[in-house]
């Protein structure tokens, strides 16, 4: 909402300074976006000084001047004036300026082969005098320190631009703003001038509002103004309209706009001669069309509120008028409309047709239904003054009677909410100043809500009015109350934070990527989840919600590889989506690692990252999070985007159904499709939702501390076993032979090749044996050895290597 201080003062009697007014506007909730002058064409004329004037190489009567215009570098201007000489102070007009005398627009041009940037002006060209023999000579005592400044004072007023919240339609008119300021103590609201106009004769065009279902128009007021001569607006009106950066069109259009901005009362003027017999306000019928004032043809749906005549639609009520009955300079008779349209209807229609106009913006937020006649009066008075003509009586059709709303307000509610006290007397004053009718009943106030405040419906709204007018700086700053009802984080949240930092501590950089992704990429990772399309994506490559954590990670990894990085470790912890309903999402930690370990290190052999790096990171993270390594179980099964032979899934327990994590290499087909160039690439993902809550707290979880001081023995074994037999199973078999004495089983070699049958492999293990009861004798150890060999051989079909 834009207006000038001068305009404001038409409604507000105040001695406050501009600065104070600006501050107060923000204080009462009308946020000032800017307060500055609208730039004018005359800003292009600068006070300038000729630094050097030389003879033009190709013309006797011309000079080439270096001119100081207050900028870092001087400009070259070709000038024919005899008085153009070194040190002269004069007026410079830059390219783009319009010379006041002849309306000539300046451009950069070559004059006899020398480029001239703008010109130096004579007094006559500036309309200052008739002097045209030479360029303007400015007195050095007055102008020598003003080089570079505007020569013409910009007389336009500074414009205030407010950002009005959607609850305050009344402040979309200057008068509403003045009312708030007056209530806040910045002067007095002036009375509206009540000079009556002469209404002669009836409004002869028949107006009817149909009783359609969901009729969007409740009141339609109008008057006929005959024998006008439409013209260009007078200067004051033009200035007003233009100071807001709007274009002046014609007196009649400017007047309706002016009244809208002044009183927040939108109006519409029709050329009465173009109306076919009568006005019918009705619901549209699907397929009807009309050409609107924005020169677009709109095709209407059912049930949009239209203003029509016998021949069809004239305009969309409260949104936009049509060209068919629009006013022009030769319009003789005008029908002036001042109506009330329902916000809901306006919003629905404008959204469907995607139209945004000043009128729509206002009606959508709620116009004062009691301003119908005020608007007609103010506008018709101005039209007669400027364009002449005679005004008919006002015709007001309505399908519902407007009743002012009343509410009861207990003043104690104010202190309960705001936390400080304001005396009843002051409350009454504030509300009265805002236009409420107040009557005091013991502990309550009975309030009649002003018709221009559709936002006020309940007592809390009244609290807001009082506190904002009184000033938010009166609210006290109370010490924060520290009572706690619940632990800060629940177990799942603690786990989230723990995993996040645990993975980061292994050398991964945490990133945050969009929750959406490119459907083409997503398809590579989506598995059995449904694709979730965004109806209105921001771009075609962010068109679906991600079904996997990897689509974004992998494409950003690629970007970093393209930047020249080789060893990149990234992870993200966040949502992936199973379907499009609230809650159908999982929290996943995904990590990805490329390149080499120990690249370019003088004392360590470098090697490619491999899936056992990913496995180590995922297992270690789970162990750090408190899950027992002994119970973790790995299977070959993994989603299809993994390398089928080089990936696995991790279960918290052998009997669990859902894996909590996957690790491995990305499927080579995907690497190829995405066109990633890297030596090696591995990844892992952890599903937080499947990580079972450890119900027992750490303090209760620790078993009794038991240790054995008896002698430890190590025995090595090598088994030849079927190639597909799982190492994990052999470890399991051995560990469960004698849990009290077999302390650990370590695989230190896996061998395939010479001396081993083709479909077999050799696994070499080290077993640590220690009893908690005694030092084991050679014979005891021998017994265990035999048991290990026989059990492994029976259970796995392996043969001990001799």
Partner 1 sequence: MSDIKKIKDEFLERLNKDLSIESVNQIKSELFGKNGKISSSFKILGSLPTEERKKFASDLNYVKDELQEKINKKIQQIEIKEINSKLENEKVDVTLPERNIVQGKIHPVSQVIDELSSIFSEIGFSVEEGPDVENEHYNFTALNTPDNHPARDMHDTFYLDDKKELLLRTHTSPVQVRTMLKGKPPFKIIAPGRTYRSDSDQTHAPMFHQVEGLHIDKNINMGHLKGCLNYFIKSFFEVDKIKMRFRPSHFPFTEPSAEVDIGYELKNGKIVIGEGDKWLEILGCGMVHPNVLKNVKINPDKYQGYAFGIGIDRLAMLKYGINDLRAFFETDYRWLNHFGFDPLDVPSNYRGLSR
Binders of partner 1 among 557-576, rule CB under 8 A? 559-560, 563, 565, 568-570, 574-575
234 binds partner 1 (CB under 8 A): no
The SS3 of residue 325 is: coil
Beta pairing, strands 278-283 & 268-271:
unpaired
User: Which residue from 191, 287, 602, 773 is in contact with partner 1, where contact means CB under 8 A?
Assistant: 602
Q: Shortest Cβ distance from residue 498 to partner 1 (Å)?
A: 10
Interaction mask 342-381, partner 1, x per CB under 8 A: -xx--xx---------------xx----------------
DSSP 449: P
Q: Per rule CB under 8 A, is residue 244 in the interface with partner 1? A: no
Residue 438 neighbours by CB under 8 Å, 6+ apart: 428, 431, 432, 445, 446, 447, 448
With respect to partner 1, which residue has the nearer C-beta, 38 or 597?
597
Residue 617 binding partner 1, by CB under 8 A: no
Cα–Cα dist 409/420, whole Å: 17
CB 246 within 8 A of CB 239: no
Site string for partner 1, 378-417 (x = CB under 8 A): --------------------------------------xx
Comparing CB distances to partner 1, the nearer of 171 and 776 is 171
Q: Residue 563 or residue 706: which is nearer to partner 1 going by CB?
A: 563
Select the span of 398-406, 526-534, 715-723, 745-753 touching partner 1 (CB under 8 A): 526-534
Query: Alpha-carbon distance 410 to 429, whole Å?
Result: 15
Cβ distance 743 to 712 under 8 Å? yes
Under the binding rule (CB under 8 A), the answer on residue 585 touching partner 1 is: yes
Smallest separation (angstroms) from partner 1 to the CB of 469: 9
* Reduced 3-state DSSP string for 576-608: EECCCCCCCEEEEEEEEEECEECCCCCCCCCEE
Using alpha carbons, select from 1, 4, 11 the residue that is nearest to residue 36: 4
Question: Can you read off the two tokens belonging to residue 656?
Answer: 């669990």
Nearest to 87 by CA among 51, 120, 140: 51
What residues from 460 to 519 belong to the interface with partner 1 (CB under 8 A)?
Answer: 460-461, 463-464, 467-468, 472-473, 475-490, 493, 497, 500-516
CB neighbour burial string for 51-63, b if at least 16 within 10 angstroms, e if fewer: eebeebeeeeebb
Question: From the list 225, 319, 532, 686, which residue makes contact with partner 1 (rule: CB under 8 A)?
Answer: 532
As a dihedral over the C-alpha atoms of residue 543, residue 547, residue 552, residue 558, rounded to 10 degrees, the angle is -110
- Give yes or no for residue 168 binding partner 1 (CB under 8 A): yes
Q: Closest CB to partner 1 among 202 and 460? A: 460
Q: Is residue 676 within the footprint of partner 1 (CB under 8 A)?
A: no
Structure tokens given for 322: 């049509």
Residue 700's H or E segment, with its range, is helix 698-701
Q: Which is nearer to partner 1, 426 or 716 (CB)?
A: 426
Helices assigned H by DSSP within 690-726: 698-701
φ and ψ at residue 79, rounded to 5 degrees:
-140, 140
- Using CB under 8 A, which residues numbered 535 to 554 contact partner 1? 535-539, 542, 545
Interaction between residue 603 and partner 1 (CB under 8 A) = yes
Q: Which is nearer to partner 1, 575 or 668 (CB)?
A: 575
Nearest distance in Å: CB 317, partner 1: 16
Say if CB 543 and CB 514 are below 8 A apart.
no
Find, among 53, 456, 786, 455, the residue nearest to 447 by Cα. Answer: 456
Site membership for partner 1, residue 687 (CB under 8 A): no
Among positions 287, 582, 645, 703, the unique one binding partner 1 when judged by CB under 8 A: 582
Is residue 236 a contact residue for partner 1 (CB under 8 A)?
Answer: no
Residue of 27, 43, 212, 446 that binds partner 1 (CB under 8 A): 27
Could you tell me which residues come within 8 angstroms of residue 417 by beta carbon, excluding any fewer than 6 positions away? 460, 463, 467
Which of 127, 208, 598, 711 is close enough to bind partner 1 by CB under 8 A?
A: 598
Q: How far apart are CA 405 and CA 369, in angstroms?
A: 12
CB of 168 or CB of 240, closer to partner 1? 168
What values do phi and psi take at 337, rounded to 5?
A: -105, 135
Distance between CA 468 and CA 8 in Å, rounded? 20
Query: 80: buried, middle or exposed (CB in 10 Å: 19+, 13-18, 0-12)?
Result: middle
Q: On the CB side of 437, how many CA atoms lie within 13 Å of its CA? A: 6
Closest CB 184 distance from partner 1, rounded Å? 11
* Cβ distance to partner 1 smaller for residue 582 or 645: 582
Alpha-carbon distance values, 786 to 48, 594, 681, 717, 792 (Å): 108, 45, 43, 11, 10
Q: Residue 45 or residue 363: which is nearer to partner 1 going by CB?
A: 363
Enter the tokens of residue 327: 């006013």
Binder of partner 1 out of 8, 28, 42, 307 (CB under 8 A): 28
Shortest reach from residue 490's CB to partner 1, in Å: 8
How many residues at the interface with partner 1, by CB under 8 A? 98
Distance CA 40, CA 593 (A): 60
**Toward partner 1, which CB reaches closer, 143 or 436?**
436
- Cβ proximity to partner 1: between 150 and 555 the closer is 555
- Write the binding mask 426 to 465 for partner 1: x where contact by CB under 8 A, - elsewhere: --------------------------------x-xx-xx-
Q: Is 235 in the site for partner 1 (CB under 8 A)?
A: no
Regarding 213 and contact with partner 1 (CB under 8 A), the answer is no
**CA dist., res. 431 & res. 184, Å (int):** 11
Residue showing tokens 């305050």: 168
Q: Which two tokens stand for residue 668?
A: 């080579």
Per CB under 8 A, the list member of 16, 556, 690, 751 interacting with partner 1 is: 556
Restricted to residues 30-89, the positions that interact with partner 1 (CB under 8 A) are 31
Q: Which is nearer to partner 1, 7 or 363 (CB)?
A: 363
Q: Binding to partner 1 by residue 605, rule CB under 8 A?
A: no
Q: How far is the CB of 509 from partner 1 (least distance, A)?
A: 4
Name which of residues 700 to 759 contact partner 1 (CB under 8 A): none
CA-based torsion, 135, 138, 144, 148: positive or negative: negative
Report, in Å, the least distance between residue 416 CB and partner 1. Answer: 7
Task: Give 394 or 452: the residue with its C-beta nearer to partner 1.
Answer: 452
In the bound state with partner 1, the residue whose beta carbon lies nearer, of 556 and 633, is 556
């Amino acid at each position: 909402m834009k207006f000038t201080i001068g305009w404001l003062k038409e409604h507000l009697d105040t001695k406050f300074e501009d600065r104070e007014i600006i501050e107060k506007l923000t204080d009462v909730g009308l946020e000032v976006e800017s307060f500055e002058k609208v730039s004018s064409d005359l800003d292009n004329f600068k006070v300038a000084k000729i630094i050097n004037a030389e003879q033009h190489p190709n013309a006797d009567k011309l000079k080439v001047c270096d001119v100081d215009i207050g900028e870092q570098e001087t400009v070259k201007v070709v000038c024919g004036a005899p008085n153009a000489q070194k040190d002269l102070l004069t007026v410079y007009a830059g390219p783009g300026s319009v010379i006041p005398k002849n309306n000539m627009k300046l451009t950069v041009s070559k004059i006899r082969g020398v480029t001239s940037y703008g010109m130096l002006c004579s007094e006559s060209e500036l309309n200052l005098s008739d002097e045209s023999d030479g360029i303007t000579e400015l007195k050095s005592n007055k102008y020598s320190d003003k080089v570079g400044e505007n020569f013409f004072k910009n007389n336009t007023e500074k414009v205030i631009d407010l950002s009005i919240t959607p609850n305050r339609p009344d402040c979309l008119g200057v008068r509403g703003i003045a009312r708030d300021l007056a209530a806040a103590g910045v002067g007095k609201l002036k009375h509206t001038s009540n000079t009556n106009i002469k209404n002669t004769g009836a409004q002869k065009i028949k107006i009817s509002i149909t009783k359609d279902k969901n009729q969007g128009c409740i009141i339609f007021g109008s008057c006929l103004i005959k024998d006008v001569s439409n013209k260009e607006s007078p200067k004051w009106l033009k200035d007003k309209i233009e100071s807001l950066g709007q274009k002046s069109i014609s007196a009649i259009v400017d007047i309706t706009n002016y009244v809208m901005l002044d009183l927040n009362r939108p109006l519409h003027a029709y050329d009465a001669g173009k109306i076919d017999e009568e006005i019918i306000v009705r619901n549209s019928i699907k397929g009807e069309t009309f050409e609107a004032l924005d020169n677009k043809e709109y095709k209407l749906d059912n049930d949009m509120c239209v203003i029509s005549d016998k021949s069809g639609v004239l305009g969309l009520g409260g949104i936009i008028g049509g060209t068919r009955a629009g006013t022009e300079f030769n319009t003789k008779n005008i029908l002036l409309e001042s109506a009330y349209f329902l916000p809901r209807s306006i919003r629905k229609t404008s959204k469907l047709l995607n139209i945004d106009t000043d009128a729509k913006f206002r009606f959508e937020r709620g116009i004062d239904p009691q301003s119908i006649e005020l608007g007609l009066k103010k506008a018709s008075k101005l039209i007669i003054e400027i364009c002449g003509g005679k005004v008919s009586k006002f015709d007001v059709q309505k399908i519902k009677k407007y009743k002012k709303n009343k509410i009861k307000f207990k003043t104690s509610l104010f202190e309960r909410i705001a936390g400080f006290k304001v005396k009843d007397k002051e409350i009454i004053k504030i509300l009265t100043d805002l236009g409420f009718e107040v009557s005091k009943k013991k502990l309550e106030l009975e309030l009649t809500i002003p018709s221009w405040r559709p936002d006020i419906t309940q007592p809390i709204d009244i609290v807001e009015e009082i506190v904002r007018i009184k000033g938010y700086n009166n609210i006290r700053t109370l010490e924060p109350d520290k009572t706690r009802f619940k632990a800060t984080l629940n177990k799942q949240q603690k786990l989230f934070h723990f995993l996040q930092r645990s993975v980061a501590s292994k050398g991964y950089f945490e990133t945050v990527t969009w929750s959406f992704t490119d459907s083409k990429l997503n398809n590579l990772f989506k598995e059995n989840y449904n694709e979730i399309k965004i109806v209105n994506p921001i771009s075609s490559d962010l068109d679906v919600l991600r079904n996997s954590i990897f689509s974004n990670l992998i494409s950003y990894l690629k970007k970093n590889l393209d930047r020249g990085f080789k060893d990149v470790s990234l992870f993200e912890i966040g949502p992936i989506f199973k379907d499009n309903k609230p809650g159908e999402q999982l929290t996943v930690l995904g990590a990805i690692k490329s390149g080499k370990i120990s690249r370019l290190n003088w004392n360590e052999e470098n090697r490619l990252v491999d899936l056992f790096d990913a496995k180590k990171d995922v297992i270690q993270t789970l162990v750090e999070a408190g899950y027992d390594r002994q119970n973790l179980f790995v299977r070959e099964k993994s989603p299809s985007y993994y390398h089928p032979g080089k990936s696995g899934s991790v279960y918290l327990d052998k009997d669990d159904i859902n894996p909590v994590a996957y690790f491995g290499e990305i499927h080579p087909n995907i690497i190829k499709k995405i066109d990633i160039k890297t030596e090696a690439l591995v990844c892992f993902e952890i599903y937080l939702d499947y990580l079972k809550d450890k119900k027992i707290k750490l303090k209760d979880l620790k078993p009794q501390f038991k240790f054995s001081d008896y002698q430890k023995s190590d025995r090595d074994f090598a088994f030849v076993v079927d190639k597909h037999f799982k190492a994990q199973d052999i470890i399991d078999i051995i560990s469960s032979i004698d849990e009290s004495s077999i302390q650990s089983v370590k695989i230190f070699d896996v061998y395939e090749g010479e001396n081993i049958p083709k479909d077999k492999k050799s696994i070499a293990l080290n077993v640590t044996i220690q009893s908690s009861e005694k030092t084991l004798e050679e014979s005891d150890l021998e017994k265990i050895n035999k048991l290990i060999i026989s059990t492994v051989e029976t259970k796995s079909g392996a043969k001990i290597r001799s």
